[in-house]
Amino acid sequence: MAIAKMKCLRIIGLQDKLYEAAEALVETKSFQPDDPMNFHSDIKMFIPFQAANPYSETIDRFNSALDSCSIKCKLVDVSGREFDEKTAEEVDRTAEKLAEYADRELSLESRIGDCKRNIEQIEHFLSLDLEIDKLNQCRYIKANFGKLPKQSFEKMQDYSDNPFVIFFPYSHDDDYYWGLYLSPISNSDDVDRIFSSLYFESCGVLDLNGTPEQYYKEQKELLPKLRQELENTKAELEQFRSSKQDDLNFYHSFFTELQKKFDIMSKAVTYNKSFVIVGWVTEETSKEVAEKLTKIYSVECTLTNGKSELMHSPPVKLKNNFFTKGFEFYTEMYGLPNYNEFDPTTFIAITYTILFGIMFGDVGHGLMVMLFGIFMKKKKNPLGSILIPCGISGTIFGFVYGSVFGFEEALNPLYKALFGLDEKPISVMEPATTNNIIYLAVGIGIVLVTLAIILNIIVSFKMHDKENAVFGNNGIAGLVFYAAVVAALVSQMILGVKLANPVYIICLIAVPLLLIFLKEPLGKLSEGKKDWKPESWGGYCVQNFFELFEVLLSYVTNTMSFLRVGAFVLVHAGMMEVVFTLANMSSGVVYVLIVIIGNIFVMALEALLVCIQVLRLEFYEMFGRFYKGDGRAYKPVSALSE
C-alpha cells in the first residue's frame, strides 16, 4: 500500500546520561541508530564514543558455553529482575559447569571414535598370535603394520630383486590388503620410502601390549562403557539445563539487551561534556519516543520529517494489508524501495496473482496449491501467503477454462445449469481459441508494459526527475512512442484502418524517438543547467544510437515475453491430454494410478515453472521500467529481538 512515514531523531545530552538515554531507546523498540557524522557539516569537535561493556568477558564465556552445549535460549522480559555482581558470579559458575559438561562430552566422543577405529583396525590382525610389545623389543628388525592398496600389492613383484621388500598380508577387503612388512634396522629408511611410494598406510598396532586378540577384547568391552558414560553425561547436562533454563533465558536476555544499549552508545559522538545520537523512528511512535527521552535530565531531542532528510536515505518500513503483505517477500527479494519511491508490493500482488491464475487455470490444481499454501503459512514459510491467493486465482480461471484435474468436460453440467450452455465456453485446444489466447497474452503484455511506463512517469515526477519523467524511454516520450506504434499495428491488423500516415509517423513516432535520443541534454536544459552540452557530440551520437537501438529492442522483447502467459495455458491442457492418453491405454486401478500420478507430476512441475516465469515477467519486463529498489530496511533496536 505505502511506505511508513519516518522521522529523523536527533538527541543531545550530558555524557553521564548517555547510558540512560540508550536504555530508553532500546525500551521503545522503534529506534534505528545512524551515524551522526553524516548529519552535521562541522564535525571537528566530534569524537566517537568509546563504549566498553563491563560484562564483555562474562558474555563471551556464557555464549561460548551455550554454543558448546547446543543450548537455545529465549528472549524474555528482564525489567522485573536486577543484574548485579552476585548474579555475574552465578553466570560464571553456570558457564563453567556447562563448559565442564561440554569438555566431558567431547572427550568421551573422541575416546569412542578412537575405540571404534582401534576395533576396526585390529580386526584385520586377529589371526596374528604374537605379542606386539615383544616384537617392538627386537634390536635388529623393524616392523610396520598397516594396509596396502590392492593395486600396489600387485606391483610388489617389481621389487622382487630387493629381499627386504616383502609384505605379509593377514586379511583383505575390496580395496586393501592388511598386514605388515619387516626390514632390518639398517635398511628401514629405504624400505619405508618404497612402501610409502606404494601408498602404504600405517595403523597403531605397534602401540599394543599383548596379542591383537587380547587388545580386541579389551576394546570391545570398553566401547559400551564409554557409550553409557556419554549417555549419563548427556542426561546430567539435560537435567542441569532444565533446572537452569529460566536463569539461562534471563542471562541471555539481559546480555542481549545490554549489547543493544552499547550498540546505540557506540553510534554516539561526544563533544565537550555532551553526546549526540542520531537515528530514525516511525511517525507513529515519534512523540512517544521524544517524551520518554525528554524525561531524562539534560536530554533534548528534535524531530524532522523523512522527506526533508532524503539525502541521508531514511530507512523503509512497508505497510501493506493482509492480501498484499505476503508479496513483500518478492519486493524485498528485488530490493526495498527508497524512501521517496513507489512501493510496488500492491502492484506485484495484483498482477502476479492474475497472471498465475491465467497460466495455472485448473480448479483441482488451484485448490491443491491453495491448501499447500495454507500448510506452508502454518509452517511460517513466506511463500505460503503468496500461494494461497495464487491458488484461488488458479481455481477461478479453472472455472473459466472448464478444467478440473485435467477433466475438461467435468463442469459442463454446471455451465448447463447456470448459463444454459451445452459445453464450456472456452475450449483451450481448439485452433481458433488458441489464436485468441496468443493475442490476449500479447494484449496483456501491452497493458502491463504501458502501466509500468505510467508508473515510472509518476514516480519520476515525485522524485523531481524531469529527465526520466519526460524524455526517458520509460517517460512521456517513451509512452507516446509505444502507444503510437501499438495503436498503428492494432488498427491495421484488426480494424483494417491505416493510421500510419506521414504526419502520424513524424509527430508520434519520430519526434518521441528524437526526444529519447536527446534525453540527457534536454533533461539538463529543463532543469536550467548551463553544462547541458555533451563533451563531444560525435561520441554522444554514436553511443546513444546504440542505446536507442537497445531501447527499441526492449519494447519488442518485453511485449513478446508475455507470450509465455498464453503458452502456459496451452502447455497445461497439452500435458494433461498426454496424461489421459496414457491412462486411456489402461483400465481399472492402473488407469486411476496414472491419472493421480500424472496430475501430481503436472501440478508440481507447472506450479514451479509458473511461479518462476511470472516472477521473471514482474522483475524484468515491468520492475525494470519503473523501480530502482535501492532502499534500506528499517531495523529498530529492540531488546526482545536478536
* Total domains in the fold of the chain: 3
Q: Is 618 a member of any domain? A: no
Q: How far apart are CA 405 and CA 597, in angstroms?
A: 11
Q: How far apart are CA 257 and CA 83, in angstroms?
A: 12
The pTM of this model reads: 0.77
Only one residue has cell 529465549, namely 74
Q: Is 571 a member of any domain? A: no
Q: Which residues pair with 342 in a beta bridge?
A: none
Q: Is 582 a member of any domain? A: no
Q: Is 586 a member of any domain? A: no
- Three cell numbers, residue 399: 472455472
> 470 with 554, same domain?
yes
Q: How far apart are CA 142 and CA 185, in angstroms?
A: 6
- Three cell numbers, residue 507: 509527430
* Helix 212-266 with 85-122: angle, nearest 10 deg: 150
Q: Is 16 a member of any domain? A: yes
The HSE-up count of residue 208 (CA atoms within 13 Å, CB side) is: 28
Specify the CATH number for the domain of residue 192: 3.30.70
Q: Is 508 a member of any domain? A: yes
Candidate from 24-33, 124-133, 224-233 with smallest mean pLDDT: 124-133
- Three cell numbers, residue 80: 522485573
In the chain, % of residues over pLDDT 90: 36
Q: How far apart are CA 352 and CA 14, in angstroms?
A: 53
3-class secondary structure, 512: helix
Q: Is 159 a member of any domain? A: yes
pLDDT tens figures, 392-449:
999 999 888 888 898 888 888 888 887 777 777 777 777 778 888 888 999 999 999 9
Can you count the helices (H) and strands (E) in the chain?
23, 12
3-class secondary structure, 74: coil
Q: Considering 162, 189, 210, which residue would you say is the last residue of a domain?
A: 210
Q: What are phi and psi of 146, to 5 degrees?
A: 170, -160
Q: Are 508 and 479 in contact (CB under 8 A)?
A: no
> 469 with 555, same domain?
yes
At 206, the pLDDT band (50, 70, 90 cuts) reads low
Query: In terms of residue numbers, what domain contains 270?
Result: 2-54+266-318
Specify the CATH number for the domain of residue 302: 3.30.70.120
pLDDT tens figures, 314-328:
999 999 888 899 999
Candidate from 137-141, 177-181, 469-473, 629-633 with smallest mean pLDDT: 137-141
Q: Please say if the pLDDT value at position 642 is more than 60.
A: no
605 DSSP 8-state letter: H
In terms of C-beta density within 10 A (0-12 exposed, 13-18 middle, 19 or more buried), how is residue 249 classed? middle
pLDDT tens figures, 52-98:
778 888 889 999 999 999 899 988 888 777 777 888 889 999 999 99
- The alpha carbon of residue 106 and the mean position of all alpha carbons in its chain are separated, in whole angstroms, by 33
At 637, the pLDDT band (50, 70, 90 cuts) reads confident
Q: Is 14 a member of any domain? A: yes
Q: Considering 516, 539, 560, which residue would you say is the last residue of a domain?
A: 560
Three-state SS letters, 458-479 = HHHHHCCCHHHHHHCCCCHHHH
> 194 with 270, same domain?
no
Other residues' Cβ atoms within 10 Å of the Cβ of residue 200: 21
